[in-house]
Amino acid sequence: MPMLRSLFAAVFLSALVLPALAADDILDAIDAARKAYQAGDMAGAKQSLDLASQLVGQKNAESFAALLPAALPGWKAEQAETTSVGVTVFGVTSASRRYTGPAGRDVEVRITGDSTLVVQFAQFLINPTIAGAMGKLIRVGDQQALQTHEGSINMVVANKFLVTVDGSADAASKLAYAQAVDIAKLSKM
């Protein structure tokens, strides 16, 4: 049994070090959890399910990164960064990219999902009184969004994803990047 736990620990640690793994690794972790559960090894089952959850989060983060917009004309985009943190920290998966404009000002676009915090933030956007205190309600395509007094934009998509656009650039640049996010594809995830 100690050797089996060591094996599970090694698999879990490798998932933290290696880039996101293929879907087969997710199925393998789920299968390992099932086998551990059937053998009465609750700790092993939990570790394997936690691993599967982490791998799913990493795969989601990669999907979010693919939806980040390309650099707008005259701007330069950095590499997208992804993060996936398990349920112990409210479960957050995100992808972000920073863009630098011709005047050196920047914009960062972040897509966040897999978190109960997104649903809670959505309550602010649907309540005009609360949203009005935080900024103003605007439309980004068909999507309702909140634009802060500094021009940052927050929008909840499909009650599952939070898109945040902020940075040192002007409000018009932030709005342009918000409009460049593929909301239709994000809604279908």
Q: 3-state SS of the chain?
A: CHHHHHHHHHHHHHHHHCCCCCHHHHHHHHHHHHHHHHCCCHHHHHHHHHHHHHHHHHHHHHHHHHHCCCCCCCCEECCCEEEEECHHHCCEEEEEEEEECCCCCEEEEEEEECCHHHHHHHHHHHCHHHHHHHEEEEEECCEEEEEECCCCEEEEECCCEEEEEECCCCHHHHHHHHHHCCHHHHHCC
pLDDT tens readout for residues 69-122: 999 999 999 999 887 765 544 567 888 999 999 889 999 999 988 666 666 767
Domain spans in the chain, listed from the N-terminal domain onward = 2-63, 68-187
CATH class of 68-187: alpha beta
pTM of the model: 0.73
